[in-house]
Amino acid sequence: MNGAEGLIRSLLASGVDTCFTNPGTSEMHFVAALDRIEGMRCVLALFEGVVTGAADGYGRMKDRPASTLLHLGPGLANGLANLHNARRAYTPIVNVVGEHATWHQRYDPPLASPIEQIARSNSCWVKTTASPQTVGEDAAAAVAASMEAPGGSATLVLPADVAWTEGGSVAAKRPVPPRRKVDEARVRAAADALRKGRAALVLNGPMLRAGPLELCGRIAAATGAELLCPTQMNRAERGAGRVAIDRIPYVVEMAQKRLANLRALVLVNSRQPVNFFAYPEKPSLPMTKDCEVLALAELEEDGVDAAERLADLLGARKSEPKREPLSRPALPTGATTLPGLAAVIAALMPEQCIVSDESITSGRGLVAATKNAPPHDWLVNPGGSIGFAMPVAIGAAVACPDRKVLCLQSDGAGMYTVQALWTMARESLDIVTLVFANRAYEILKGELKSVGAGEPGRRARDMLEIGRPDLDWVALAKGQGVPGSRAGDLDELARQLGAALREKGPRLIEVRL
Amino acid sequence: MNGAEGLIRSLLASGVDTCFTNPGTSEMHFVAALDRIEGMRCVLALFEGVVTGAADGYGRMKDRPASTLLHLGPGLANGLANLHNARRAYTPIVNVVGEHATWHQRYDPPLASPIEQIARSNSCWVKTTASPQTVGEDAAAAVAASMEAPGGSATLVLPADVAWTEGGSVAAKRPVPPRRKVDEARVRAAADALRKGRAALVLNGPMLRAGPLELCGRIAAATGAELLCPTQMNRAERGAGRVAIDRIPYVVEMAQKRLANLRALVLVNSRQPVNFFAYPEKPSLPMTKDCEVLALAELEEDGVDAAERLADLLGARKSEPKREPLSRPALPTGATTLPGLAAVIAALMPEQCIVSDESITSGRGLVAATKNAPPHDWLVNPGGSIGFAMPVAIGAAVACPDRKVLCLQSDGAGMYTVQALWTMARESLDIVTLVFANRAYEILKGELKSVGAGEPGRRARDMLEIGRPDLDWVALAKGQGVPGSRAGDLDELARQLGAALREKGPRLIEVRL
Q: Where are the domains positioned within chain B?
A: 3-164, 184-314, 338-512
pLDDT at residue number B454: 86
Rounded CA gap, A10 and A26, in Å? 20
pLDDT at residue number A5: 97
Who among B110, B275, B444 is closest to A384 (CB)? B110
Is B171 exposed, middle or buried, given 0-12, 13-18 or 19+ CB atoms closer than 10 A? Answer: buried
List of residues 6+ apart from B495 with CB closer than 8 A: none
Using a CB–CB cutoff of 8 Å, tell me whether B107 touches chain A: yes
- Contact by Cβ (8 Å): B94, B146: yes
Rounded CA gap, B408 and B403, in Å? 16
Edge-to-edge strands, sheet with A376-380: A235-238, A376-380, A354-358, A405-410, A431-437, A507-512, A484-487
Using a CB–CB cutoff of 8 Å, tell me whether A164 touches chain B: yes
Who among A32, A118, A475 is closest to B454 (CB)? A32
pLDDT at residue number A364: 83
Yes or no: domain B338-512 corresponds to CATH 3.40.50.970: yes
pLDDT at residue number B400: 98
- Contact by Cβ (8 Å): B38, A457: no
Rounded CA gap, B278 and B266, in Å? 24
Instruction: Say yes or no: do domains B184-314 and B338-512 share a fold.
Output: yes
Q: How many CA atoms lie within 13 A of B315 on its CB side?
A: 1
Task: Let me know how many helices (H) and strands (E) chain A has, helices first.
Answer: 20, 18
Neighbours of A503 (CB within 10 A): 11
Q: How many CA atoms lie within 13 A of A209 on its CB side?
A: 11
Rounded CA gap, B8 and B35, in Å? 11
Taking an 8 Å cut-off on Cβ atoms, the answer to whether B78 and A74 are in contact is no
- Contact by Cβ (8 Å): A233, A205: no
Helix, strand, coil: what percent of chain B each, to 5? 40, 20, 40
Rounded CA gap, B360 and B416, in Å? 14
Q: What is the DSSP letter of B187?
A: H
Determine which helix (DSSP H) or strand (DSSP E) holds B221, and give its type and residue range.
helix B210-223
Q: ipTM surpassing 0.90, yes or no?
A: yes
- To the nearest 10°, the Cα dihedral for A44, A50, A52, A58? -80
Taking an 8 Å cut-off on Cβ atoms, the answer to whether A274 and B109 are in contact is yes
Q: Which residues of chain A have pLDDT under 70?
A: none
Question: Which residues of chain A are within 8 Å of residue B453 when distances are taken between CB atoms?
Answer: 28-29, 31-32, 164
Q: Strand (E) positions, A207-339?
A: 226-229, 235-238, 246-247, 264-268, 292-297
- Contact by Cβ (8 Å): B151, B91: yes
Distance from CA of B280 to the nearest CA of A (A): 8
Using a CB–CB cutoff of 8 Å, tell me whether A29 touches chain B: yes
- Contact by Cβ (8 Å): A513, A336: yes
Rounded CA gap, A194 and A264, in Å? 8
Rounded CA gap, A213 and A78, in Å? 36
DSSP output for A456-469: --HHHHHHHB--SS
pLDDT at residue number A171: 98
Query: Apex CA A369: angle with CA A367 and CA A373, to 5°?
Result: 95
The model's pTM is 0.98
Fold of A184-314: Rossmann fold (3.40.50)
What three-state secondary structure class fits B469? Answer: coil
Using a CB–CB cutoff of 8 Å, tell me whether B483 touches chain A: no
Phi, psi at A246, each rounded to 5°: -110, 135
Reported as a single tens digit per residue, the pLDDT across B448-481 is: 989 998 889 999 999 999 999 999 999 999 999 9
Reported as a single tens digit per residue, the pLDDT across B163-204 is: 999 999 999 999 999 999 999 999 999 999 999 999 999 999
Closest chain B residue by Cα to residue A446:
B25
Q: How many CA atoms lie within 13 A of B194 on its CB side?
A: 32
What is the CATH architecture of A3-164? Answer: 3-Layer(aba) Sandwich (3.40)
- Contact by Cβ (8 Å): A426, B439: no
pLDDT at B364 over 90: no
* Rounded average pLDDT over B271-289: 96
Taking an 8 Å cut-off on Cβ atoms, the answer to whether B104 and A278 are in contact is yes
Who among A285, A471, A481 is closest to B480 (CB)? A471
Closest chain B residue by Cα to residue A106:
B284
Closest chain B residue by Cα to residue A280:
B161
Distance from CA of B508 to the nearest CA of A (A): 14
Distance from CA of B460 to the nearest CA of A (A): 5
pLDDT at residue number A102: 97
Using a CB–CB cutoff of 8 Å, tell me whether A356 touches chain B: no
Neighbours of B232 (CB within 10 A): 24
Q: Compute and round to an integer the Cα radius of gyration of chain A.
A: 23
